[in-house]
Amino acid sequence: MERRRLGGTDLELTTIGLGTWAFGGRWGGADDSESEAACHAALDAGVNWIDTADIYGQGRAERIVGRVVRERGGDVIVATKGGVAWDTSSGQLRIWREAGADYLRMALDRSLQALGLERVDLYQVHWPVRGVAAEETMGALVELKAAGKIGAIGVSNYDTAGLAAAAAAGPLDAFQVGYHLLRRDVEAAELPWCRDHGVGVLAYGPLAHGLLTGKMTAQTTFPPTDWRSASELFADDAFPDRVAVADELAAVARESGRVGGVAELAVAWVLRRPEVTSAIVGARHPGQVAEVVRMADRPLSADEDAAIAAVLARHPGASRHYGHGEPPDREDVEG
């Protein structure tokens, strides 16, 4: 599998990274043994890095990843994220954004304990937080890097102003952002900014959280335990139009002879951008791994790119900016 250097670091990442959001259970449940098996299968197939976060099951995903990494002797690039705080004292999960220095120090130590590691290759701030200066956030990360606990520093879900402030306050190596065929707004500003400043881009959600797998219909619904049940990407009036886009893209993939169908096409489309170091794709169980790995086999052709653009032009209402249950700022919770 092709590898690309992450920004100015010495990390060479495969163009597919294994995402572990589903390991935490927010996609309608998860099985830890299946999650571990998926990690092993991905690594056996050539994927060399795993992305996780402390909020994914409140340490559950990190514990799974840590067990796998230790079993394999540590020869795995590990990226995790901190910056979503949580509280369960009321019996329900309450979450909010937090990026203060003291919190990040605590969160990293908690992540290292969950992972069973002394150091992570990449540590990322999960969300920007109003009222927390970039100097405070980045200062803490620079300090943690100097202490040997972090290899590289990244941020996630920032806009260009936030990226610029972070880069001015310390060395910024990576930017993780939601990017897929139905969410292209980052092409206007964030991707060019990263190109101009030597920051590597990690694209999450390249399959539009399942929409670009070709497995959904206009009648698809999700159980309440699945975050997609409350997401406008899947619940607003344009959902049938998005399914139509996926169906038309599946035809493009068939005409191009892509065995992996629309999913393979969608990942190739994300990786066509030189700013993108790697696309993060999740797998719930080892049976999905072959599909995931195949997505990196073949670059997007000019004819495919043109065909995709024509499909998107026929469905302008299908493409908007969508979140995925973003946590509120701490002021919104505490104020």
| Domain ranges (residues) in the chain | 3-209+262-300
Q: What CATH fold (topology level) applies to the domain 3-209+262-300?
A: TIM Barrel (3.20.20)
pLDDT at 171: 96
- Give the pLDDT confidence of 77-95 residue by residue, as tens digits: 999 999 999 998 888 889 9
**Is 56 part of the annotated catalytic residue set?**
yes
Pairing of strands 174-178, 276-282: unpaired
Residue with tokens 């599946």: 250
**How far apart are the C-alpha atoms of 309 and 150, rounded to whole Å?**
40
Confidence of residue 28 (pLDDT cuts 50, 70, 90): low
Q: How many CB atoms lie within 10 A of CB 331?
A: 12
Q: Which of 56, 103, 158, 179 is catalytic?
A: 56
- Give the pLDDT confidence of 219-230 residue by residue, as tens digits: 877 777 776 767
- Give the pLDDT confidence of 125-159 residue by residue, as tens digits: 999 999 999 999 999 999 999 999 999 999 999 99
Pairing of strands 276-282, 200-204: parallel
| Residue 180 DSSP one-character state | B
For residue 323, the number of C-alpha atoms closer than 13 Å in the C-beta half-sphere is 9
